[in-house]
Amino acid sequence: MDIELRKSLRLLVLMSLTLGFLDIVMGSFGVYPKILTGIAVVASAVGCMKRVQAAWYVGLIAAIADIVLTFLFVPFPWGLVLMVPAFAVIYMLFKPDIKGYLHKKKTPAPVDDDGYFACEYSSGGGMEGGRIILSMTSPSPGKASLNYDVMRYNGDERKTGNAEVPDETVAELKKMFDEYGIRHWKLKKSDMIVLDAPSVSVSFTVGKDMFSVEDDDVLPKKGSDVISRVYDALMGIYLTKETDS
């Protein structure tokens, strides 16, 4: 959080506390709904400090409600004077730095470039009886390898081995993990069952944490192609190794 944004948030809290205090005082003299708007606007300011997006809407609604109540119950010109704090709160809520801070989507922490990273694609159990296991590990930057175990169908020659993985492929997989937000996926199983199809899964390991995606999971629209993209990336390494050998 930069210094200017911090100052804006502190000013919003100060204005909200002022408005909340005035509302509670007025509420104690009979305008009881003001007590609720006062509490709401103070709670909103606290929420904004903690970057709770809903707090922005609560503060806006509370400030507008305060203006309406003041207009209805407080005679001119005192009512106009008492509206100033509410208008000030609304102005602060619509300041580009505050609004942008609260409405900007939080991005997940990126994969640590210096930490352990692994990605695996596996399939097997289908009607043709083959299996494919492509397991890439990158214990540290510049060091990545692919272990493979491939037999496309029953009776096919089984191929096992190890291949070096270019830094570009590791970077692509890390970027995929971050962009899709896989760390935060909460997946549910699909009701559709294909009996003769192979079981396919993809897993990412970041540090000590593993995140798995299976073909019978209901994937978010953004990320529905994650399995095919991992397959393409790792299978490309395997095919290059087999072609060169």
**How many C-beta atoms lie closer than 10 Å to residue 70's C-beta?**
24
Contacts for 193 with CB less than 8 Å, ≥ 6 apart: 216
Residue 119 has a pLDDT of 94
Residue 194 has a pLDDT of 47
Q: Tens place of pLDDT for every residue, the chain, 245 residues?
A: 557 777 888 888 888 888 888 888 888 888 888 899 989 988 988 888 787 888 889 999 999 999 999 899 888 888 888 899 999 999 988 988 888 877 765 555 556 556 789 999 998 876 777 889 999 999 888 889 999 999 888 878 889 999 999 999 999 999 888 888 888 777 777 665 544 566 888 999 988 888 888 877 777 777 778 889 999 999 999 998 888 76
Pair of tokens at residue 115:
């930490």
Residue 32 has a pLDDT of 87
Helix (H) or strand (E) holding 178: helix 167-180
Residue 187 has a pLDDT of 74
Strand spans (E) along the chain: 117-124, 129-140, 143-153, 159-164, 188-189, 199-206, 209-214, 217-218
